[in-house]
Amino acid sequence: MPWIRRLSVAIGAVAVPNHRTMHDSVMPRLGGLAIFLSFMSAIAIFYSKLVPALPGFWALLIAACVIELVGVLDDVYTLSAKWKMLGQLIAASIVAFSGFTIDQIHIPFAYDIYFPGWFSILLTIFWIVGLINALNWIDGLDGLATGIAGISCLSLGIIAAITGNIPVLIISLTLLGSLAGFYLFNSEPASIFMGESGSAFLGFVLAVLSILGFKQAVFVSFIIPLLILGVPILDTLLAMVRRGLQGRPLYEADRGHVHHRLTDLGVSRRRTVYTLYAVSAFLGICAIILTKASNSAITLVMLLLLVALLILAGAQLVGIMKGKRSFYQVFRKLRRVRDEK
């Protein structure tokens, strides 16, 4: 990490504060390269375990290198959105055309849905590109994306251990180890950011892991990846709806993400990060429980509670965007009244 920080400054891969960012000084932002290098070094150790279990192993590595290269170039030269999208589409297409696709999903209490070959490929590309951008958009506070990705890796690893999916278990825990090392330098106050080279790579790996892993959890395969990655997915959907209603391009950056809204309401940056960690961990625990759920009544109640939670969160964020009073504002007012008394 010290070497990567010096390299970032030397080649100009730095983040300059602006009206959207939450940092106050110029920061090196090539931390994702350290995550990538440590992850690949560890994967090399488990090469003999992964290759027989994953026939398309080399295709996944090539796609990961493509997405990392695009991320590094963006951190250094600030690529336009169309070039970044092109790189993401190439990496996602390599995965999809290598046979790693979402070809069916199982909806609880319903039936299996099977997708034809061409639609399966398009759905897989959409899923990978969507998660790449979801991790990028949630990366707005020190340690936020790192922690959420780490919690997601841990949840995927536990589910892989339960279902006996050894490749997903190895890759999940390997990435978790890389994130744990990076977190020491990225937690508040951060000394380096992960940049596009980190958020894009993490989104890509988590998307691929979910494709490789959730088919093992047959009962709720459609729900599990959505739960594990619920925080960035929900934030991304709300951002797209918000920008669409405002008549702005969907990929135009703004200060409307959930971490921006919470800090604008007076919640400290550290507390905002820990709050989103807690939500992500709760969703991950629910996903783990649902993996082995057998009682349909309990499962249905849990799913309804989770849907209610997500709807409530979305409604609150929409209310905040429209200037309406939120739970946080009510809580702060009650606390001020108590303090005055």
Q: Which residues are annotated as a binding site for Mg(2+)?
A: 136
| Cα distance between the two ends of the chain | 50
CA separation (Å) from 315 to 20, 236, 243, 303, 322?
A: 23, 15, 16, 18, 11
Helix or strand holding residue 17 (H, E): none
Closest CA to 250 of 125, 134, 79, 139: 134
Four-point Cα dihedral 21, 24, 28, 30, nearest 10: -20
Residue type, 157: G
Residue stretches of the annotated binding site: 136
Q: Which of 209, 231, 220 is nearest to 289 (CA)?
A: 220
Question: CA angle at residue 30 from 90 to 9, to 5 degrees?
Answer: 135
Question: Using CA atoms, how far apart are residues 201 and 199, in angstroms rounded to an integer?
Answer: 5
Which tokens belong to 247? 């008549």
Q: How far apart are CA 215 and CA 222, in angstroms?
A: 9
Pairing verdict, β 27-28 and 104-106: unpaired
Q: What is the distance between the alpha carbons of residues 284 and 331, in angstroms, rounded to a whole number?
A: 27
